[in-house]
Amino acid sequence: MSNFLKVAAFSLFIIGVYTFFADRLIPPIAPQAPPPLTEVAARPMTADGLARLGEEVFKGKGACTLCHNPVGGRAPLLDGIIIKANERIKGPGYRGGAKDAAEYIRESMVNPSAYVVPGFGVAGTHDTKSPMPDVRGSEIGLSEVEIDAVIAYFQRSAGVEVTVGSPAAGPEGK
Ligand code: HEC
């Protein structure tokens, strides 16, 4: 056997040994778990706090941007959703039960098929069934506070009054 092969084989052996022991001997770095959102959400919140939680939920746990993003086109964009929501509930095709933008957004989240944005329904259902899951169920599992928080986030982003949440989210929370 050439020297080269011997050196190569030996090197592979050493790399193998290191790889084997690295897995076992180097203590894994345990990441500090962030406080669960529900714990944060259990505290009474100002409107700002609620809106901040809502932004986190919207961009993280809520998985909203998986579908609501400008790339995939699988769901309508939610920019300006407060204004859009007010138009939707006044539209002739609206058949849900919401009376204002906040109610419309909540309805979209917990009962998506109550009204399906034209063109976005499950194929073959003539826009009677939404592909969006009930965000309380499925893998998303949002709490009522987290749902309020997302609505507060949309309201804050639109510069309108935050109308959802506990009394602690009242005027002093501005
Ligand atoms: C699996 C993809 C998917 C996920 C995840 C999803 N949505 Fe949707 N969403 C849709 C689709 C598709 C529609 C349009 C059909 C309809 O009206 O239900 C929609 C509609 C909506 C509407 C009504 C939009 C309008 O223009 O009237 C709102 C509000 C909304 N979603 C909010 C959310 C929020 C907030 C989340 C995260 C908590 C979320 N969605 C997560 C797919 C999704």
Does residue 154 sit within a domain? yes
- 110-153: per-residue pLDDT in tens? 999 999 999 999 999 999 999 999 999 978 999 999 999 999 99
Residue 38 lies in a domain: no
Alpha carbon of 115 to ligand 1 centroid (Å)? 11
Q: Which two tokens stand for residue 62?
A: 């809520």
Evaluate whether residue 20 is within a structural domain. Answer: no
**d(Cα 3, Cα 13) in Å, to the nearest integer?**
15
**Residue 30 belongs to a domain:** no
- pLDDT value at residue 117: 97
Protein residue with its CA nearest to atom 37 in ligand 1? 64
Output the six-digit token pair for 25. Answer: 């001997």
Is 96 close to ligand 1, i.e. is its CB under 6 Å away?
Answer: no
Task: Please state, in angstroms and as integers, the Cα–Cα distance from residue 128 to each residue in 68, 70, 71, 131, following that order.
Answer: 19, 24, 24, 10
Q: What is the pLDDT of residue 170?
A: 46
**Residue 17 belongs to some domain of the structure:** no
Average pLDDT across the chain, whole number: 87
Residues 6+ apart with CB under 8 A from 61: 37, 140, 142, 146
Checking if the pLDDT of 15 tops 90, the result is no
Q: Is residue 21 domain-resident?
A: no
CA 37 / ligand 1 centre spacing (Å): 21
From 61, 68, 87, mutation site for ligand 1 pocket: most ligand atoms within 8 A of C-beta: 68
Domain count, the chain: 1
Residue 98 lies in a domain: yes
- pLDDT of 48 > 60? The answer is yes
CATH at residue 147: 1.10.760.10
Whether 3 is in a domain gets the answer no
Predicted confidence at residue 157, as pLDDT, reads: 97
Position of tokens 């919140």?
45
Model confidence over 76-96: pLDDT tens digits? 999 999 999 999 999 999 999
Q: Is 108 in the pocket of ligand 1 (CB under 6 A)?
A: yes
Question: What is the model's pLDDT at position 8?
Answer: 81
Please give the residue range of the domain that contains residue 87.
Answer: 46-173
